[in-house]
Amino acid sequence: MHHTRIPRAEPGDNIGFNVRGVAKTDIRRGDVCGHVDNPPTVARELIGQIIVIYHPTAIAAGYTPVMHFHTGQMAVRFVELIRKFDPRTGQVVEEKPSFLKTGDAALVRLEPLRPISIETYSEFPEIGRFAIRDMGTTIAAGIVKEITKKGLQ
């Protein structure tokens, strides 16, 4: 049903639309549109809850892999490892750990190299999830707990 007008789109529909004044070259993968009254959040720093699926050595502050979020990708820097907890019980194992290894669950502060459009998992689960990849391997998976710095500047 390409190029067919429909009166409305329902959840799960895959649609295309045009916006006057916005060229195809102005839109990139990972961009999000929203209502004027409730625009999408642009994050410069966030706190994520992750589970390390596989890493050959250890993850420390300063590590810069690629974050895959909804349809976008962006290099992201691990600014701080806030706390490590038991993935089964949720009990805090260590505050401010020096590194994370395979199997660890943690709360981490992440800083994308450029601002990204993402939301907290509690408010908008569909665009509040992410994966951390490096060297062609999925390193970790997580959810956005809090957006600490917002805006484009």
The closest of 47, 45, 50, 46 to 100, measured between CA atoms, is 50
**Secondary-structure breakdown of the chain: helix, strand, coil percentages, each rounded to the nearest 5:** 5, 45, 50
Local mean pLDDT, 10-residue blocks, the chain (153 residues): 82 82 86 88 96 96 97 96 94 96 97 95 94 96 96 74
pLDDT the model gives residue 11:
82
pLDDT the model gives residue 28:
83
pLDDT the model gives residue 153:
60
pTM of the model: 0.85
**Protein fold of 34-150:** Elongation Factor Tu (Ef-tu); domain 3 (2.40.30)
pLDDT the model gives residue 145:
97
How do the domains of the chain map onto residue ranges? 34-150
In degrees, to the nearest 5, what angle opens at C-alpha 65 toward C-alphas 57 and 91?
A: 65
Which H or E run includes 99? none
Residue 53's Cβ-side half-sphere holds a number of Cα atoms within 13 Å equal to 11
